[in-house]
Structure 1
Amino acid sequence: MKWQTFMNSVHQFISPPVDTCLTCNKRVKQLNTSLAICEECTRTIPWIAKPRCGVCGRHIGCPDCTRPAAAQRAIVCNRSSVAYNAQMREWLAQYKYRGNERYAELLAKMLERAYTGMKREFTNTHFKWKIDFITFVPVSQVRLSERGFNQAEMLGSILSRKQRIPLIPLLERRRHTVKQSFKSRHERIQDMQGIFQLHSSAVQRMKDVLNSYSSSTSPLPLRILLVDDIYTTGSTVNACAHILKEAGLSLNMPLEVYCLTWARS
């Protein structure tokens, strides 16, 4: 063994390897094994362990779900991993706007935690809650060209792989809109009118899922998990869910749409 190789081995033995935290860039001896970030950053995550609102999953008092218009919602409920604060805004910006692809795995792991909680919440001794397939909120071609990827599709894809649930693109965006963060609640709702449509292959794919079940195991209803990055007013996910439910009615297919988002603002 060469002298330099020997010394490197000794150095590694007496000095444990050092990792760099993705989110704060600090060098630490060991990262959190589940999220691959340092323990200090892990402790600051504003997890939503038990939502205050059983519909939208908000962690604080929710005026939106008490409005009369809320009765027209198309989703069964939304659950989110975290509360959207300044730190989470920065993490999402790194992933969504700055193209830091390493954040995709971190955010997806956080999303999976919310999915696990949702599954536990809706499963009881007499009923096993099961999602039949995952879909995602589509982005416009303009956004796709700007970013090079659809952040919701990426998160849904990773969740699909980890949970072994089929990922099916069911929706398309009919037109481009300016960023929703620049709009009021009323403007967001108005802007979502007629913005989504079924993907050209959606109906056939939904039929294929139904046909994959035997008559004895056919799901009643078919359950779809709609993935997005942030839930603010719910206008986007509800617009998507309305399209999906209309498709279910046209196929005489009982259908429920659940929403899973990484953050709840």
Structure 2
Amino acid sequence: MGLLGLVLPSRCAVCGVPGSAVCPRCDEGLVRIGPPVCERCGCPGAWPVRRCVECAGRRLGFDRARSALVYEARARRLVSAWKERGRRDLAPTLAAIVADVLARPEVDALTFVPGDRERGRARGHVPSARLAEALAALWELPFEGLLTRTGAAPRQAALPRRARAANVREAFAPRDTAPRRVALVDDVYTTGATASACARRLRQAGARRVEVVCLARAVR
């Protein structure tokens, strides 16, 4: 714990009440994603399907994706505190939520979606990297930085759905040879465009199976 943590009490990242990083009331209010879900992209639905309306007809680079939370109001506030308001202390808590909801992937290593360098410097950390590192410790899996950004790109959140795939198509490159089975960790799954672009680069680097693990997922 840093000096600031000794002086100022921790507050819930969702509601601000003093105490734990996520208070019991807000933790209970977070919407966990459980079965049934789409076999491919993990979208929750009324019944299990191999492909859902979110991923049918799309050429996705990953084998399957799973997310722990629905990206609704509480989860949005939680992610905003973590990514934009400097709550680097949240990574272990968020990793524990993911590990409680999702089964440990049968992979050789965990890696992460690399963040934009400028935004990483402004935030003081790369959220996806810290989440992957914390999950690797919980799941007792190797943690490896297998990808890098090739340059700055407009933020995905500012783009319409159809433009997101083109925006990230050339945004990533492999840094090293990838293990045969890799889990790619990210914070929020929106359209799957970023995860798919990263998965394709991991396959170019030698991966034969790529699973995606996310904290939260936007559900239309």
Q: Which residue of 1 aligns with 2:194?
A: 236
Distance 2:18 2:148 in 1: 43
Report whether the alignment pairs 1:43 with 2:38: no
Which has the greater radius of gyration? 1
**Offset, 1:20:** 6.8
Q: Which residue of 2 aligns with 1:261?
A: 214
- The 1:39/1:193 distance shift into structure 2, 3 A limit, reads closer
DSSP 3-state at the match of 2:82: helix
Letter in 1 for 2:203: K
Q: Which residue of 2 aligns with 1:63?
A: 53
- Normalising by structure 2, we get a TM-score of 0.85
- Normalising by structure 1, we get a TM-score of 0.71
**Offset, 1:64:** 2.2
Instruction: Flag the structure with higher helix content.
Output: 1
In 2, are the aligned partners of 1:140 and 1:174 still within 8 Å (CA)?
A: no
Unmatched runs of 5 consecutive residues or more in structure 1: 1-18, 120-129, 210-221, 249-253
**Offset, 1:245:** 0.8
> 4+ residue runs of structure 1 moved beyond 6 angstroms?
none
Please list, as runs of the form range in 1=range in 2, the aligned pairs for 1:144-183 lying within 5 A after superposition.
144-183=120-159
Q: Which residue of 2 aligns with 1:214?
A: none
Please list, as runs of the form range in 1=range in 2, the aligned pairs for 1:184-199 lying within 5 A after superposition.
184-199=160-175
**Offset, 1:246:** 1.6
Equivalent position to 2:15, from 13, 24, 42: 24
1:127-146 CA-to-partner distances (Å, cap 9, x unmatched) read: xxx21100000012112112
**Offset, 1:235:** 0.5
Distance 1:258 1:191 in 2: 22
**Offset, 1:50:** 1.3
**Offset, 1:173:** 0.6
Distance 1:235 1:25 in 2: 33
**Offset, 1:27:** 5.8
Distance 2:72 2:27 in 1: 15
Distance 2:209 2:29 in 1: 34
DSSP 3-state at the match of 2:213: strand
Distance 2:102 2:144 in 1: 17
RMSD of the TM alignment (CA)?
A: 2.1
Distance 1:25 1:174 in 2: 37
Distance 1:37 1:152 in 2: 19
Q: Which residue of 1 aligns with 2:6?
A: none
Distance 1:39 1:141 in 2: 34
DSSP 3-state at the match of 1:190: helix
**Offset, 1:51:** 4.2
Unmatched runs of 5 consecutive residues or more in structure 2: 1-8, 47-51
Q: Which residue of 2 aligns with 1:125?
A: none
DSSP 3-state at the match of 2:55: helix
**Offset, 1:243:** 0.8
Q: Which residue of 1 aligns with 2:81?
A: 94
Please list, as runs of the form range in 1=range in 2, the aligned pairs for 1:80-159 lying within 5 A after superposition.
80-116=67-103, 119=105, 130-159=106-135
